[in-house]
Chain A
């Protein structure tokens, strides 16, 4: 491309003849001659092309979808977008210079405050990549807290999380062991947990509500069985509007995904890893933490703190390699919770429980279907079992403009006749009607 007048002036001032001269330190043997990529598009052409490319995607608004399994379609007030669209937030870097970054720092502190209140944990960091990597990091942190080389995980968790946790565990030579779920309730099989506990165990992870939807009731007993080992609890933070928080269940570490607060589904990313722990473990925690302090004039201020845990200081001895996180989504979560407020949050959670209860009842009344499969209390997800082939149901629903739930057979062969459904406040009665009549039509 021809150089601008300013560029020529700069070259002149530097007594350099051409831009090529600035690259003469790159040896010929490694040179390439430009890039074999198409020429650039104008904004209008780019928009046209992307609109056409993306128009073949079926968005949730154009097709009722009953998928959940870790990524959820929830209401996002317009004002959340107004707030997170602020250039000052979007185009800033990690707040290394706190004096000029108080906006981001206080917003992240507000996020930590919301999450600490919801989970009843002492410390919540300012985000991990997503729920699955938060679990991976929790496995490593458990090892730092309790030693041992075997980490126990409930079988009733997302297959995505299992695979990611395995990748994290491998580096620390920790083996992952599964704890069975009770086939009737879907909850942790306490006998199996008890039989697997021994000195080599690092900790135990279970979720409530778990992957199949059931809400755990016996946390006291689980805490007793886990004893001095690390207890990690996975939560859906939206459910905490109503449900007992992990902090009151004796969790050492709590993990989850805060995508439910203000972040669209985005084909699964970015989302925001929620990570909290007890105060006594904070120095073993991964990720950035924002703390309250004051400035020279005594004004309340915020800054990144306990950075000696982090990679830029501790290098190979750091608690984690994480640097870039999901800060902007933490601002979105804080803004989202502030806008809907306590009453809005409770109202949305209530609609989820009511919708689940109503839809599950309607599906149960269709001949050949059982819902919910597990006998337990549920939040917004539940397993449906049928004597009809789940793949066929899936195809038939798609034909009728409805996207069914996640078929469980591949990850859970024992549930080959089952599908995981999710319903949220975004579903209208009409959406439920559409699903139910489509299911009824499959014979």
Chain B
């Protein structure tokens, strides 16, 4: 084990506000330009030399782990390598320094790029039209479910319910609820949709069924056509959560599987960086009959000239201001152009190969619920750890000490002590083998080492209950708390 994360003692920037020179009085009226009644009386933010600020953040960055540091097998998150050219492109002034309300004649390049990206996503998703507006996967779901609602309302129907498999991502039920739907959980059978149970759950009240395929266990839902038939016969729609699209590019498509609505996670499948939580982008694609409900504006091309069309009476409106996360769209466009059609297919092939290889090597050491092939990810059960008084959490924390990011744990909920591993196509066989070695070595270790893990990271285990109890969310709150504690009662 050779990994050790940097450990720096980095005080908060605001701690420098404690210096006597800080918080000097200033004239916020700017000598009368602003009336005294609208200005603030104090502003306590730090004033530091640039040199110190850069040092502060560079040292902080060293206490953070990204894909560029090492393998990040976080299931369902597709932490693939992010090509650097894609980040470079978005720093160009012709890309970054343009305003969304500029006359379309002055942003033709940007409009063309977005229009072409829509077309490429149509091909990959097997759909007829795409909106790029949603800012994230969950925002894509929110958009898609609004389209579901608009579709039924246009048919004069108010259907109340959205059905979800019990393996669904948490965002699915949350998005459905935000659009006003009741959520019905469908228990899985052998890790997949229970078709008979689905048949008996579908009713006149069913607005849609949301599904990802392959599902969160990494299993391909073979009955997807039959599932689609059940929904469509009942007048309901089938929604595709694109979180797992990285498994199937060029092999099948949501459209081919008869899904009506699809969201894409550009920050997963199309290699845009996750940025420590965002920004991402969650474009939504639909079949022809739902085209009219897409958000406005639509980008329209005529004779090589691009314009905007907001005159669409059935549109759900907007889900975000302007065009969406354009700088992310540019990165995804660059990625797709660089990969090409064959490159994307090969990405899916290698993602699936890596995942099955790891699964085969690790299933002896853990439990592997459900037989069969996996696609881009697989879920192990850490239940055997319990015999040693350990839990999946302990194993995950110990992996950090070996320089691997932990897998997703305790999800999906139907697997006891779940360990969800998605290696992506980016990792070499050598890295995968090292990962297996690390897992096997951890299982042989003294359980106390796992209890104490991690020890090679910038911090050891945190008191998360204390964070929730003390509720210190800012320097301001911290000051309030420490000031009131030091004040004599």
- Known A117-B475, A357-B33; judge A100-B454 contact (CB<8 A): yes
| C-alpha spacing A245/B43, complex, angstroms | 10
Q: Do A291 and B472 touch (CB < 8 A)?
A: yes
Q: Does B273 contact A (CB under 8 A)?
A: yes
Whether A441 is near chain B, meaning CB under 8 Å from some CB there, is no
Min CB distance, A65 to chain B, in Å?
Answer: 6
Interface flag for B202 (CB, 8 Å): no
A14 at the interface (CB under 8 A from B): yes
Q: Which of A17-57 contact B (CB under 8 A)?
A: 19, 22-27, 29-43, 46-47, 49-51, 53-57
> Which B residue's beta carbon lies closest to that of A166?
B317
B135 touches A88 (CB 8 A): no
Given contact pairs A16-B356, A55-B109, A88 touches B340 in the complex (Cβ within 8 A) = no
Residues of B within 8 A of A22 (CB): 349, 352-353, 356, 373
Name the CB-closest residue of A to B254.
Answer: A30
Distance between A154 CB and nearest chain B CB, rounded to angstroms: 17
A39-B342, A57-B98 known; A292 and B467 CB under 8 Å? Answer: yes
Interface residues on A, range: 35 or more
Nearest Cβ distance between residue B19 and chain A, in whole angstroms? Answer: 12
Q: Given known contacts A90-B82, A167-B318, is B99 in contact with A335 (CB within 8 Å)?
A: no
CB-defined contacts of B137 to chain A, threshold 8 Å? 323-324
Give the segment of A71-79, A144-152, A197-205, A362-370 that binds chain B: A71-79
A167 & B316 in contact (Cβ 8 Å cutoff): yes
Q: Which residues of chain A are near B256, meaning CB under 8 Å?
A: 30-32
B276 touches A95 (CB 8 A): yes
Q: Is B321 in contact with A164, judged by CB distance below 8 angstroms?
A: yes
Question: Which one of A32, A35, A329, A335 has the highest number of Cβ atoms from chain B below 10 Å of its Cβ?
Answer: A35
A342 contacts partner chain B, Cβ-Cβ < 8 Å: yes
- A436 near B: Cβ within 8 Å? no
Among residues of A, the one whose C-beta sits closest to the C-beta of B126 is: A32
Q: For A33, give the chain B residue with the smallest CB separation.
A: B250
* Interface flag for A313 (CB, 8 Å): yes
B60, B95, B112, B466 — which one has the most chain A CB atoms within 10 A of its CB? B60
Find out whether the CB atom of B317 lies under 8 angstroms from the CB atom of A163: yes
Q: Is A196 an interface residue (CB 8 A)?
A: no
A181 near B: Cβ within 8 Å? no
Given that A37-B120, A102-B64 are known contacts, is A58 also in contact with B337, CB under 8 Å in the complex? Answer: no
Q: Is the CB of B372 within 8 A of A25?
A: yes
- Give min CB distance, B460 to chain A, whole Å: 4
Min Cβ gap A204→B in Å is: 19
Which of A6, A24, A124, A173 counts the most chain B CB atoms within 10 A? A6
- Would A71 and B99 count as touching, CB distance under 8 A? yes
Chain B residues near A130: list those with CB within 8 A: 135, 320-321
| Nearest Cβ on chain A to B44's Cβ, whole angstroms | 6
CA distance A14 to B360 in the complex (A): 7
A103 to B275: give the CA distance in the assembly, Å.
Answer: 12
Q: Does B368 contact A (CB under 8 A)?
A: no
- Which A residues, 73 to 100, have Cβ-Cβ distances below 8 Å to chain B? 73, 77, 79, 81-83, 85-100
Assuming the contacts A99-B397, A130-B321, asked whether A342 and B174 have C-beta atoms less than 8 A apart, the reply is: no
A305-327 contact mask (Cβ, 8 Å, vs B): 1 or 0 = 11000111111111011111111
B197 lies within 8 A of chain A by Cβ: no
Cα of A343 to Cα of B24 in the assembled complex, Å: 10
How far is A325 from B462 in the complex, measured between Cα atoms in Å?
Answer: 23
Interface mask (B357-400 → A, CB under 8 Å = 1, otherwise 0) = 10010000000000011010000000000000000000011001
Q: Is residue A354 within 8 Å, beta carbon to beta carbon, of the partner chain?
A: yes
Interface contact A104-B64, CB-CB below 8 Å: yes
Residue in contact with A10 in the complex, picked from B219, B375, B429, CB distance below 8 Å: B429
Q: Mark A216-251, 1 if CB is under 8 A from B, else 0.
A: 110000000000000000000000111111001000
Name the distance in Å between B318's Cβ and chain A's nearest Cβ.
4
A442 on the B face (CB < 8 A):
no
- B101, A406: Cβ atoms under 8 Å? yes
Verify A167–B319 contact, CB threshold 8 A. Answer: yes
The distance in angstroms between the C-alpha atoms of A363 and B131, with both chains bound, is 40
Most buried by A among B57, B334, B400: B57
The reply to whether B99 and A112 form a contact with Cβ atoms under 8 Å apart is no
B242 — which chain A residues lie within 8 A by C-beta? none
Closest chain-B Cβ to A438's Cβ sits at a distance in Å of: 15
Q: Name the residue on A nearest B14 (C-beta).
A: A113
**Cβ 8 A contact of A92, one of B173, B274, B327, B457:** B274
> B60's closest neighbor in chain A, by CB?
A103
Q: Does B93 contact A (CB under 8 A)?
A: yes
Q: Does B39 contact A (CB under 8 A)?
A: yes
Chain B residues with CB below 8 A from A373, complex form? none
In angstroms, Cα B99 to Cα A65, docked, is 9
Cα of A316 to Cα of B176 in the assembled complex, Å: 7
Q: Does B446 sit at the interface, judged by CB under 8 A?
A: no
Q: Given A94-B277, A291-B472 in contact, is the A34-B342 Cβ separation under 8 Å? A: yes
- Does any Cβ of A come within 8 Å of B308's Cβ? no
Q: Which residues of B sit under 8 angstroms from A110, Cβ to Cβ?
A: 12-14
Query: Is B459 an interface position by the 8 A CB rule?
Result: yes
- Tell me if B200 is interfacial: C-beta within 8 Å of chain A: no
- With both chains docked as a complex, state the minimum distance between the C-beta of B350 and any C-beta of chain A, in angstroms: 7
Q: Does B22 contact A (CB under 8 A)?
A: yes
Say whether A301 contacts B328, CB under 8 Å.
Answer: no
Q: Which residues of B contact A33 (CB under 8 A)?
A: 250
Whether a CB of chain B sits under 8 angstroms from the CB of A415 is no
Bound CA span A108–B179, Å: 29
Contacts of B414 in A (CB 8 A): none
Which residues of chain A are near B183, meaning CB under 8 Å? 315-316
Closest residue to B80 on the A side, CB-wise? A91
Could you tell me the distance between the alpha carbons of A282 and B175 in the complex, rounded to whole angstroms? 21
Chain A CB within 8 A of B435 CB: no
Q: A30-B257, A116-B476 are in contact. Are A89 and B146 (CB under 8 A)?
A: no
A117–B126 contact, CB under 8 A?
A: no
Contacts of B72 in A (CB 8 A): 91, 93
Q: Contact partner of B79 among A93, A109, A297, A299, CB < 8 A? A: A93
Q: Which residues of chain B are within 8 angstroms of A19 by Cβ–Cβ distance?
A: 349, 352-353
> Are B108 and A56 in contact, CB atoms less than 8 angstroms apart?
yes
Q: Tell me which residues across on chain A come within 8 A of B334, comparing CB atoms.
A: 46, 50
Instruction: Give residues 337-354 of A contacting B (CB, 8 Å).
Output: 337-339, 341-346, 350, 353-354
Query: A172 and B180: CB pair below 8 A?
Result: yes
Beta-carbon contact of B473 and A324 below 8 Å? no
Contact A291 B468 (CB under 8 A): yes
Question: Min CB distance, A149 to chain B, in Å?
Answer: 12
Q: Are A338 and B56 in contact (CB under 8 A)?
A: yes
CA distance A199 to B304 in the complex (A): 54
By beta carbon, the residue of chain A nearest B342 is: A1
- What would 19 more interface pairs be, CB under 8 Å, given A89-B64, A217-B38? A9-B429, A26-B248, A35-B124, A56-B108, A57-B110, A69-B101, A101-B63, A101-B64, A102-B458, A109-B12, A113-B13, A115-B474, A129-B136, A279-B471, A282-B473, A316-B176, A318-B170, A322-B136, A346-B28
User: 4 tightest A-B contacts by CB?
Assistant: A40-B340, A268-B322, A103-B64, A328-B275
